[in-house]
């Protein structure tokens, strides 16, 4: 590992009984970057986060966070991380302020500094008005914001924790709450914090992550920048919207031939055909020519990169169909 790596994971394994949750996970996250961890339900995202944040012991392999081995030097790691777990890690009976003050004291800030910082964080996360209410009375979004504030209370004086783990930080939040979490994460990254983010939302990984690792059945099945992933795993596609629905089938076979694609997906509602292409320009030119020759009118013809949804479905296609339902495909497509 180099000094530039905030997280280094090598051959990490975790078994629950006979169940393999992680089967040889490898991952390197450079300092100051945001690593997205994408995967269907049960892929092992939470298990990875729990091992890296010292909550769980790995069955094999090794992991270093902020320069320290998570199994051998957990306390060193704990000084340098923040953890936003999949479920809120708060005392429901205490008020928001009491929670933050308690965690501040446990980070040994001293009572006065803990109280002052709790006040600042409540302001910053727009919770000042609810600060004295018990957390059990908070909405999901308020809880998540308080949870995030709790991640920061111990180390904000050093510019945020060195490494922040976010396990599905915006699941269950409305768009406004999601935007708030995103901007908080961005400002932390500006301050130099490294972030490991797991998510079910491809848009979220696309928005925040410098690099995405797609996890399936406990190992990385694809990795790269959002752009690189799209390029490598899905070929570019050509989309054709046909004016006359009756000509859709005829158009489909023409597009298939022109693009040299094995399959053309059809969305009859939107009169949309979509096919992967290898040679972008040739495919475009030939499609236009073939449709014109056949007298089929096209409303729109476009070349586009695949969406992350398509990448995700493609790379995790080996798992149970729950993988597909976990994602919300941006385009509705019936496959031929």
Q: In this structure, what token pair is assigned to residue 328?
A: 């919300």
**x-or-dash pattern for another protein, window 86-115, by CB under 8 A?**
-xxxxxxxx---x---xx-xxxx-------
Is residue 200 near Mg ion by the rule CB under 5 A?
no
Q: Tokens for 252, please give them.
A: 């489909």
Our finding on whether 3 is near another protein (CB under 8 A) is yes
Task: Give the one entry of Mg ion, ligand ATP, another protein, none that residue 21 binds, where binding means its C-beta sits below a cut-off of 5 to 8 angstroms depending on kind.
Answer: ligand ATP
What is d(CA 223, CA 229) in angstroms, rounded to the nearest whole number? 7
If one asks whether residue 42 binds ligand ATP (CB under 6 A), the answer comes out as yes
Q: Which does 42 bind (CB under 5 to 8 A by kind): another protein, Mg ion, ligand ATP, none?
A: ligand ATP
Question: What number of other Cβ atoms are within 10 A of residue 270's Cβ?
Answer: 14
The neighbouring-strand residues paired with 166 are: 84, 197
Among 46, 53, 287, 315, which residue sits at the site for Mg ion (rule: CB under 5 A)? 46
How far is 303 from 259, CA to CA, in rounded Å?
11
Of 36-44, 71-79, 198-206, 304-312, the window that binds another protein (rule: CB under 8 A) is 71-79
3-state secondary structure of 217: coil
The contacts of residue 30 (CB under 8 Å, 6+ apart) are 4, 5, 6, 194
- Stretch (H or E) spanning 127: none
**Least distance from ligand ATP to the Cβ atom of residue 38, Å:** 10
Q: Which of 28, 35, 46, 99 binds ligand ATP (CB under 6 A)?
A: 46
Residue 54 neighbours by CB under 8 Å, 6+ apart: 70, 74, 77, 78, 81
The CA distances from residue 326 to 132, 201, 313, 330, in Å, are 37, 9, 10, 13
Of positions 59, 76, 86, 331, contacts ligand ATP by CB under 6 A: 86
175: phi > 0 → left, psi -120 to 50 → alpha, else beta; which?
A: alpha
Closer residue to another protein in complex, CB, 162/271:
162
Positions 68 through 127 that interact with Mg ion (CB under 5 A): 86
Choosing from 36, 45, 185, 252, the residue that interacts with ligand ATP (CB under 6 A) is 45
**Closest separation between CB of residue 251 and Mg ion, Å?**
43
Of residues 10, 52, 22, the one with CA closest to residue 219? 22
Longest dimension (CA), the chain: 80
Interacting positions 218-277 with another protein (CB under 8 A): none
Which residues of the chain form contacts with ligand ATP (CB under 6 A)? 16, 19, 21, 39, 41-47, 86
Which residues of the chain form contacts with another protein (CB under 8 A)? 3, 6, 31-32, 50, 53-57, 66-68, 75-76, 78-79, 81, 83, 85, 87-94, 98, 102-103, 105-108, 134, 150, 154, 156, 159-160, 162, 187-188, 190-194
């Amino acid at each position: 590992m180099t000094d530039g790596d905030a997280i280094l994971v090598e051959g990490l394994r975790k078994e629950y009984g006979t169940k393999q949750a992680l089967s040889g996970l490898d991952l390197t996250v450079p300092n100051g970057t945001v690593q997205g961890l994408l995967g269907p339900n049960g892929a092992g995202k939470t298990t990875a986060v729990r091992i890296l944040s010292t909550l769980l012991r790995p069955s094999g392999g090794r992991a270093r966070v902020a320069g320290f081995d998570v199994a051998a030097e957990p306390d060193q790691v704990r000084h340098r991380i923040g953890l936003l777990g999949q479920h809120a890690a708060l005392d429901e009976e205490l008020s928001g302020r009491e929670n933050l003050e308690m965690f501040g004291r446990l980070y040994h800030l001293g009572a006065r500094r803990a109280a002052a910082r709790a006040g600042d964080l409540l302001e910053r996360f727009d919770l000042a008005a609810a600060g004295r209410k018990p957390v059990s009375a908070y909405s999901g979004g308020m809880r998540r914001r308080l949870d995030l504030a709790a991640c920061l209370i111990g180390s904000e004086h050093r510019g945020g924790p060195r490494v922040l783990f976010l396990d599905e930080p915006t699941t269950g939040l409305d768009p406004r709450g999601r935007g708030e979490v995103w901007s908080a994460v961005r400002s932390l990254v500006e301050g130099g914090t490294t972030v490991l983010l797991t998510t079910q939302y491809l848009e979220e990984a696309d928005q925040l992550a410098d690099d995405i690792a797609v996890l399936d059945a406990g190992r990385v099945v694809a990795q790269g920048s959002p752009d690189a992933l799209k390029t490598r795993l899905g070929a570019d596609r050509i989309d054709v919207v046909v004016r006359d629905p009756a000509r859709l089938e005829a158009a489909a076979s023409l597009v298939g031939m022109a693009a040299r694609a094995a399959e053309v997906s059809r969305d009859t509602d939107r009169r949309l055909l979509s096919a992967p292409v290898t040679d972008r320009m040739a495919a475009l030119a030939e499609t236009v020519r073939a449709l014109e020759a056949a007298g089929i009118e096209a409303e729109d013809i476009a070349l586009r990169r695949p969406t992350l949804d398509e990448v995700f479905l493609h790379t995790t296609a080996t798992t149970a169909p729950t993988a597909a339902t976990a994602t919300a495909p941006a385009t509705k497509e019936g496959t031929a």
